[in-house]
């Protein structure tokens, strides 16, 4: 018999299985509670379910468990977790403390196919999509570790780790549903942000699916030639295509869009680049996060000159745009933006 992953079952599938197994309807709710609220990794942990039915579950299903392979701690208290799956694939998650909040950065793929020039993950290539349980499992593990290390549970989640989440659309959306569902972790979708390099058709799908979480675009240039040179995905979904998808998203959801913009010296940090960015972001109300470059294996890029950086910010603010300069955390353990590449420290 080929077992199925228990966390891949829909409520309808689970209801049908319980009914066929002679179980009463409340059993479904019990199983969901153990899977998504308690995050159990073994059927024997479902203590209010009879031993006989636990054996039945064991005979028909398995868990897509993840385990913490290693933990690296930064001098700034950022903590990076190297996770491994049951088939020995590796991916990373990060806990980022900051004043009154702790943010979890989670991955949706092992590796990444997009090969952005500034990102270490892209150099790994694509290995495979993570399952619903593997994505959810990161949130659960990081939430538990957050409580242990920082004395509180997570305040925010960013889906900005390894991989392109919209190329693992179904699993990512289902995992978020379990994180936010009252039968799961009950986490507010307003405190979750998904970041994409700009998979235009899937951005429209997000709008059609009426998502409640926040959307962030890894833009990094509002010039097609420059963006294509550092982000190959722009050759498939150029800025005009992306703009159309974002307009569709905003008109349907009314949600403000965030733009992530990595400042690279001599590449995208001129006043002309700032002007193009300001023009592109007229699509909708937005905010712009400027990011300082973190060295990667290639080191073909360098951080923006501080004076140019300030001029860039001043120009955007003169256009009444909301701009934040993000200070990178976890650089010393390769946990900062663009550095995730399964490196143990």
- Dmax (CA) for the chain in angstroms is 71
**Which among 116, 119, 146, 337 is annotated as catalytic?**
337
CB 227, CB 234: distance < 8 Å? yes
User: Is 133 in a helix, a strand, or coil?
Assistant: helix
C-alpha–C-alpha distance, residues 20 and 45, integer Å: 23
Look at strands 192-196 and 156-159 and give their pairing. Answer: parallel
CB 146, CB 152: distance < 8 Å? yes
Residue 57's closest CA among 96, 13, 95? 13
User: Is 336 in a helix, a strand, or coil?
Assistant: coil
**Which among 18, 92, 116, 119 is annotated as catalytic?**
92
Non-local (6+) Cβ contacts of 21 within 8 A are: 53, 56
Is 337 assigned a catalytic role? yes
Q: How far is CA 231 from CA 119, 124, 160, 197, 334, in A?
A: 10, 15, 16, 8, 21
Q: Which helix (H) or strand (E) holds 290?
A: strand 286-292
Is 146 assigned a catalytic role? no
Measure the CA angle with vertex 83, ends 81 and 84; round to 5°. 160
C-alpha 321 chain-centroid distance: 25
Q: What are the structure tokens assigned to 16, written together?
A: 């049908």
C-alpha–C-alpha distance, residues 30 and 15, integer Å: 11
Which regions of the chain does DSSP assign to beta strands (E)? 4-5, 61-62, 66-73, 79-85, 90-98, 101-105, 109-111, 126-129, 156-159, 192-196, 214-218, 257-263, 286-292, 322-326
C-alpha–C-alpha distance, residues 250 and 254, integer Å: 5
Measure the CA angle with vertex 342, ends 336 and 345; round to 5°. 75
> Which sequence positions are flagged as catalytic?
92, 337
């Amino acid at each position: 018999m080929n077992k199925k992953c228990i966390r891949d079952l829909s409520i309808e599938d689970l209801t049908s299985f319980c009914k066929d197994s002679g179980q009463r309807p409340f059993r479904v709710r019990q199983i969901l509670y153990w899977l998504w609220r308690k995050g159990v990794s073994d059927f024997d942990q479902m203590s209010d379910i009879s031993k006989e039915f636990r054996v039945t579950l064991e005979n028909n299903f398995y868990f897509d468990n993840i385990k913490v392979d290693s933990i690296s701690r930064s001098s700034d208290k950022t903590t990076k977790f190297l996770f491994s799956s049951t088939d020995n694939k590796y991916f990373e998650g990060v806990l980022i403390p900051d004043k009154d909040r702790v943010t979890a950065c989670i991955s949706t793929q092992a590796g990444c196919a997009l090969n952005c020039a500034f990102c270490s993950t892209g150099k790994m290539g694509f290995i495979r999509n993570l399952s619903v349980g593997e994505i959810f499992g990161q949130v659960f593990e990081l939430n538990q570790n957050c409580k242990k290390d920082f004395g509180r549970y997570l305040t925010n989640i960013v889906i900005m780790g390894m991989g392109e989440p919209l190329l693992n659309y179904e699993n990512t959306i289902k995992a978020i549903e379990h994180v936010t569902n009252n039968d799961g972790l009950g986490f507010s979708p307003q405190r979750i942000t998904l970041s994409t390099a700009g998979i235009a058709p899937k951005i429209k799908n997000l709008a059609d699916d009426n998502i409640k979480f926040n959307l962030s675009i890894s833009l990094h240039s509002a010039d097609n030639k420059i963006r294509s040179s550092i982000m190959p995905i722009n050759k498939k979904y150029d800025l005009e295509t992306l703009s159309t998808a974002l307009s569709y998203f905003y008109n349907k959801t009314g949600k403000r869009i965030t733009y992530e913009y990595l400042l690279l010296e001599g590449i995208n940090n001129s006043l002309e680049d700032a002007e193009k960015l300001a023009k592109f972001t007229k699509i909708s109300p937005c905010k712009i996060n400027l990011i300082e470059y973190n060295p990667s294996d290639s080191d073909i890029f360098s951080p923006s000159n501080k004076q140019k950086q300030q001029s860039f910010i001043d120009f955007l603010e003169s256009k009444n745009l909301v701009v934040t300069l993000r200070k990178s955390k976890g650089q010393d353990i390769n946990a900062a933006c663009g550095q995730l590449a399964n490196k143990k420290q």
